[in-house]
Structure 1
Amino acid sequence: MAESLFIGVDLGTSALKCGLWDTAGTCHGAARVAYTTETHDGRAEQRAGDWWAALCTAVGESCEGAARARIAAIAVGGHAPSPVFVDDALTPVGPVLTWRDSRAAEDVAHVFADLGGRPADGPTRLAAQVAARARWMRREVPEAYARAAVALHSWEYLIARLSGEAPCERGAPSGLPVALGVAERLLAGSGPAAGTIAGTVMPDVAARLGVPAGTAVVAAGLDSYLGAVGSGISAPGDACLTAGSSSVVASLLEPPAEGRFRLAGLPMASVPVGATGTLLRAALALSKDPVALQIARAVELSAPSVDLEALDPVDPGAPARVAELGRRIGPEAALRAVLEAIMTAERRVLAEIGGPLTRLRLVGGQAASPALTRFRAERLPCQIEVPARHDSGALGAAMLAAVALGAVSDHAEAARRMVHPSRAYAPSGKPGASSSANNGSDSSSRIQIDSK
């Protein structure tokens, strides 16, 4: 019997990444499709219809020439909080206020205050962010608010387009007061957990995508979780740094410690570093030279004497300060300062998580630059390993699908079979032993700072 194939979809901040894998970790096809974000005056809006068009295109490109009859499942994850408010026909009532949109910041503060502070658990925190955007919608676009039936997370919307059904129960999650000033109907309840089957692809959609009728649809959840899954971490002391438009550190902990997620039966801490890619992009825009050349020059400079707190990637105003810094000290020195600020933030997050740190898997668009990875290895406290695939979110989704359908027994087996490390860097910054197989680009000239 021919081995099954699994489609993984990672809806990133600025592009959708998709790939087709078998359980040996062989990628049979991959695609990346970008979409537009409308940004000005705090706005960071996307159109959910653009996501769907990107998925259809990417699946078609990823599966071109493959044995489509072997496709068993498609798993979808994405960025959040970026809720899609839909009507009873699952049609969006307006643009999506993505996680980068700051117009609802005051509403977020009000909702957290109503809850007695920032919720500790992830589902309630995400629901509170959705409630804040609903409050903003009710005030700013009341006609759209009146038509909205429910809010879906980004991956839930794509699951609904694939299966024809909203993959969640209506009603506020347990512990979240209805007294948040929004209609209870809008707050999605308990959706399918990451790694569970949420339905099957509708026949007309299957025909459009070119996948078998009845292909399973698997919920893959939050993109930061997917990045960790696809990096292959599986033991206490393993950590993953997903570095794209924004960065997040996920670290597996020894029980009885508690974490935001669970992976391989272990608690997993997940702490955001900030919008490192956005900051890096602002610095690279100061020069017209190729990205690889800019990074190579910057890492050789001495660190300039500047206020790194003003460049902290958690500060939404930091990218706007980069242009002025470039005019004052020059583009290369400004880029060097930004790199130092990013490393300072990453060290801070690793220290905050605490516990023993054995190895750090680096994934996301920034992992495509060997020079930048060496720079990190000189400043972070453990060995850095770069998997062959930098698009670990899409691979992580495919791994979750393989586990959900029983093609592999659990995450640990999926990590052993499907994730292939390519390069290793000791803390000194010198490359360590690496495998000869490399299924992803290592060229910093092709760096894509796009995944959340």
Structure 2
Amino acid sequence: MEEAGTAWLGVDLGTQSVRVLLVTGDGTVLGRAAAPLRGRRAGVRHEQDPGDWWDAVCTASRAALRGLSRQRIGGLAVCGTSGTVLLADSAGRPVGQALMYDDGRAAEDADRARARGLVVQNAWGLPKALWLAREHGAGEGRAVRLMHQPDVIVARLTGTLPPTDASHALKTAYDVEHDTWPLAVFAELGLDAELLPDVVRPGTRIGEVCASAAERTGIPAGTPVVAGMTDGCAAQIASGALHEGSWNSVLGTTLVLKGAASRPVRDATGVVYNHRAPDGGWLPGGASSVGAGALAVYFPDAEPAALDRAAAAHEPASVIAYPLASPGERFPFLAPGATAFVLGSPASDADLWAALLQGVGFAERLCLDTLHFLGAPMDGTLTFTGGAARSPYWNQLRADILGRPARIPEETEPALGMAALAAHGTGAASTLAGAADGMVRVRTVVTPRPARTEPFAASYARLVGELERRGWLAAPVAAHARSRLDLGGTGS
């Protein structure tokens, strides 16, 4: 059991900021802070300076812990963006810039990996690792180590070159089911095995905060550091969706769904992948390019609250939208050439806004129908998190479209998930689910209105048919989605 007065620190390395949260085992937030990050984008290129990550962690940590010098911190964990990789020297110092999770320069390397039987997407870590190794001459100069984003911070916190965690290694083609790198295939691809880090399961204790890091961050020296997980998994932990059949739907710029299962959800196309939970269970999920980011494309100067009120008169909208935030789709189907579309001419801005909100809800429903088609357990709770969960109207609309209730937690920061993982990894909670259950507080539960669910069925069926017609959605999945309309929702 945790000691009285103990709190846990979560660090989230996001795209635009680093966020730090100090929280007790019962979910009381004692301190929080954020520090901004900047990146460089040009076409498919997206880089960040790893040194900026450390500076931001130091700034945010000191701010979050200000006035709490006597607070006992039981441990910490760090999450980062999934698929962000870089190369480092033998001391763990980055060599060059980090390729961010959506950097698209390694598409040809992804094709090479897939040709050798690896299930990877273009922006995953492995293609970028191949690209970096070639560009920086790994094995011939200073670059001797592949690192994932949190590894950089853990190295600075502990003063040692750490192992990476299996969660971040997953998109670098680490086999989490058999706990091994696919070395034979890597050799065929020309990736030097000497570059590869050791891998440990998330929640493993991998060091403690050293004196120099304590001086920079304000985190007490000797604080245990445990291996973290990706930001998507961290958000799932922060939602409490860790019991079998439970799912977390994170709606921000894009849409991410992650659930809990006792066995992997098999999918040959790679749109669904499975993280290994610290306790040995599985966290299947997928990431879509549909999301709230599309709203800014159509309405760059929108006042969302006003448009939400106007959209209520358009249920369903007169047009059908598939609102991709960026070209290409990854889940619920894999279609690199997919583009956003609107079927028909909207009657007004409110009608188009309604169609976009509903289109995200339809995509969310199709994701859940696809998971059901693949045999994923679906009979647990559903939780809404992400920036879009701040819209009461959109929460209710999504619940109506899905035909199932959804929980809205008080605190949705991925950093909370890392605090829970730290509590579990240091032995304060026997299970990760138990740690999350203690920390996660549910603010409200949104209940679907059956009279509103049925009117959306025809629009959903039309969208499914259009996706199938374009060759993006496989016919068996489309047929399964249509068959489930008779069930009145997306439950079991």
Query: Normalising TM by the smaller chain, what interval?
Result: 0.7 to 0.9
Per the alignment, residue 271 of structure 1 pairs with: 286
Structure 1's 353 and 68: CA in aligned 2 closer, same or farther, altered over 3 A?
farther
2:412 to 381, 384, 390: 390
Q: Point out where structure 1 has 5 or more consecutive residues left out of the alignment.
A: 120-124, 431-452
Per-residue deviation at 1:77? 1.0
Task: Tell me the alpha carbon deviations over residues 118-167 of structure 1, each in whole angstroms, 9 at most, x when there is no partner.
Answer: 16xxxxx89x9434213323555559984311111111121111112222
Q: Which residue of 1 aligns with 2:477?
A: none
Q: 1:315 Cα deviation (Å)?
A: 2.1
Judging changes above 3 Å, is the alpha-carbon distance between structure 1 residues 175 and 37 closer, same or farther for their aligned structure 2 residues?
Answer: same
Find out whether 1:421 has 2:442 as its counterpart: yes
2:193 maps to 184
Shift of 1:423: 1.0
Matched, 1:366 2:388: yes
Range with greater deviation from structure 2 (250-259 or 234-243): 250-259
User: Whole-Å Cα distance in 2 between the matches of residues 150 and 182 of structure 1?
Assistant: 11
TM-score (norm 2): 0.76
- SS of the aligned residue for 2:402 comes to coil
Structure 1 equivalent of residue 152 of structure 2: 157
Distance 1:13 1:256, change over 3 A: closer
Deviation per residue, 1:358-413 (Å, 9 max, x gap): 3211112222222221121111132100111021x111100111112222222232
Shift of 1:20: 0.2
Task: Report Cα offsets for 1:244-290 as digits up to 9, x if no partner.
Answer: 233221122356877543366643322223352433443442x2x43
**Change beyond 3 A, Cα 1:253–1:106:** same
The corresponding residue for 2:250 is 242
**CA–CA distance in structure 1, aligned partners of residues 127 and 103 of structure 2:** 12
Question: For the residues of structure 2 that align with 1:52 and 1:130, how far apart are their CA atoms?
Answer: 21
* 8 Å CA contact retained: 1:312, 1:342: no
1:335 to 353, 357, 360: 353
Name the CA shift for 1:200/1:298 in 2 (closer, same or farther; >3 Å): same
In structure 1, what is the Cα distance between the partners aligned to 2:264 and 2:81?
A: 29
Aligned residues: CA RMSD = 3.4
SS in 1 for 2:102: coil
The 3-state SS of whatever aligns with 1:220 is coil
Distance in 2, matches of 1:42 and 1:224, equals: 22
SS state of the match for residue 249, structure 2? strand
Q: Counterparts of 1:52-63 in structure 2 under 5 Å?
A: 52-63=54-65
Closer, same or farther: CA 429–212 of 1 in aligned 2, 3 Å = farther
User: Could you tell me which residue of structure 2 aligns to residue 5 of structure 1?
Assistant: 7
Seen in structure 2, the aligned counterparts of structure 1 residues 328 and 367 have a Cα distance that, compared at 3 Å, is: closer
Structure 2 unmatched ranges of 5 or more: 175-179, 267-273, 330-335, 452-492
Letter in 1 for 2:191: V
Which stretch shifts more, 36-45 or 256-265? 256-265
Q: Tell me if structure 1 keeps the 8 A contact 2:11–2:415.
A: yes
**Number of corresponding residues:** 418
Map 1:123-142; keep pairs closer than 5 Å. Answer: 129-140=124-135
Q: Match of 2:181, as an amino acid?
A: S
- 1:352 corresponds to 2:356: no
1:193 to 178, 198, 201: 201
Distance of aligned partners of 1:105 and 1:91 in 2 relative to their CA distance in 1, 3 Å threshold: same
Identify if the C-alpha distance between structure 1 residues 263 and 401 changes in structure 2 by more than 3 Å, giving closer, same or farther.
Answer: closer
| Aligned pairs (5 A) from 1:280-299 | 280-285=295-300, 287=301, 289-299=302-312
Work out the CA distance in 2 between the residues paired with 1:212 and 1:134.
Answer: 34
The 1:44–1:335 alpha-carbon spacing in structure 2 relative to 1, beyond 3 Å, is farther
Amino acid at match of 1:352: T
CA distance in 1, matches of 2:61, 2:338: 34
- With normalisation by structure 1, the TM-score equals 0.82
- Note if contact 1:241-1:247 (Cα within 8 Å) is conserved in structure 2: yes
- The CA distance in 2 between the partners of 1:37 and 1:295, in whole Å, is 32
Q: Distance in 1 between matches of 2:264 and 2:108?
A: 36
Cα deviations by residue, 1:84-114 (Å, 9 ceiling, x for unpaired): 2112232222221111111111211211212
CA distance in 2, matches of 1:145, 1:241: 44
